[in-house]
Structure 1
Amino acid sequence: MEKFVDEITRQATRHWTLAQPAVSAFIASVVRDFRDRDDVLQNVAVAVVESFHTYDSDSPFIPWAIGIARRQVGLYLRRRSRDPLVFDDDAVACLAIALHEEAQERSHALDFLQDCLGSLDGRAKKLIGLRYRDDMKPAAIATETDMTPNSVAKALQRLRDHLRGCIERKSLEASV
């Protein structure tokens, strides 16, 4: 039984790690005080772990976690109801929906980025790999590739522009 609990906790932690930036952004969009944000985020993390057994793995995790965050933010707002600048429940719901849509768009963009990276040729792939996988600066890449630092920087800028355009094209194609 102990191993089963550990695996559930491990899965909850893995999901939470990926969802935490989106949940944190949602909380920050509603809760102004940074100390209160940290408290609400911590309450959400605890609630996510405690209720993970109710999560349906066939549905996306981030909207589920944002649903928990909405309830925690609602509790926080009710405690702060005397503050005239507090959002009402409808405004919080609208923010949650908008954040979920933004998270989905970013997820699709990452999928498109993988496709676009796969279409790069040998030299372009090597430059991108050295810069972003190996975290090398243009001067170090120049030494590795017999290029000048300036030409590496320009090539990387052209590659970023190419990838951005590729992602935008794929996004347009997917929305049609």
Structure 2
Amino acid sequence: MDDATRQATRLWTLAQPVVSAFVVAAVRDFAARDDVLQETAVAVVESFDRYDPARPFVAWALGIAQNQVRLYFRRQQRERLVFDDEALKHLAHAFDTTPQAELNALGFLQDCLSQVEGRARRMCELRYTHDLKPAAIAESLGMTANGVSKALQRIRDQLRQCIQQKAAAEGGAG
């Protein structure tokens, strides 16, 4: 591995949580988020020779992520919610200026969500990916709307507890 690749990898590792949080906020589809983030990482490494070390790396990487999100939206013209360039610019700025602890919590949420399985995972997908209301989820899963609402509340409580545990563990390790 040459020095430039080593430096790009090191800087990307530090910027990745912020860029990942930006992509998660901009792209609703779970699977597409991973693809857009991977494409962003590749673009960062491939264009690293054009990076100006006088500029903040995170802001530069967010610019590349904005371009990758735009490309994704162009490929997904059927997407219900598509951000325009100005909205993406403001969103990237917000992530560039958000305190690291808050960005870490978003990363913890991704980790915690990956541990949700079975019916609970399906409920989360229906509610937060497909934007279905509890009544529609209940009909789909053969439950009552009240049962779905209570289950989603328990899932949110478990996710909150998981995030808090991860944050405490990281705080104790640092």
Q: How many residues align?
A: 105
82, 85, 88: which is aligned to 1:86? Answer: 82
Q: CA deviation at 1:84?
A: 2.2
Deviations 1:50-98 (A, max 9, x none): 0001111121100000000000000001111222222222211110111
Larger relative contact order (C-alpha < 8 A, sep ≥ 6)? 2
TM-fit CA distance, 1:46: 0.3
Residue 85 of structure 2 aligns with an amino acid whose one-letter code is: D
CA distance in 1, matches of 2:10, 2:80: 38
Q: Which residue of 2 aligns with 1:43?
A: 39
After superposition, residues 141-160 of structure 1 pair within 5 angstroms as none
Farther-moved stretch of structure 1 (73-82 vs 38-47): 73-82
Aligned residue number for residue 24 of structure 2: 28
Max radius of gyration: which structure? 1
What is the aligned partner in structure 2 of residue 12 from structure 1?
A: 8
Q: Does 1:132 align with 2:172?
A: yes
Q: What TM-score do the two structures reach when normalised by structure 1?
A: 0.56
Deviation at 1:25, TM superposition (A): 0.3
Please point out which of 33, 51, 56 is paired with 1:55.
51
**Equivalent runs, 1:87-106 vs 2, <5 Å:** 87-102=83-98, 105-106=99-100
Distance 2:85 2:78 in 1: 15
Percent identity over the alignment? 57
TM-score, normalization: structure 2?
A: 0.56
Moved over 6 A (4+): none
Q: Which of residues 56, 69, 73 is equivalent to 1:73?
A: 69
In the alignment, the residues of structure 1 paired with residue 81 and residue 51 of structure 2 have an alpha-carbon distance, to the nearest angstrom, of: 33
What RMSD in Å do the two structures reach over aligned CA positions? 1.9
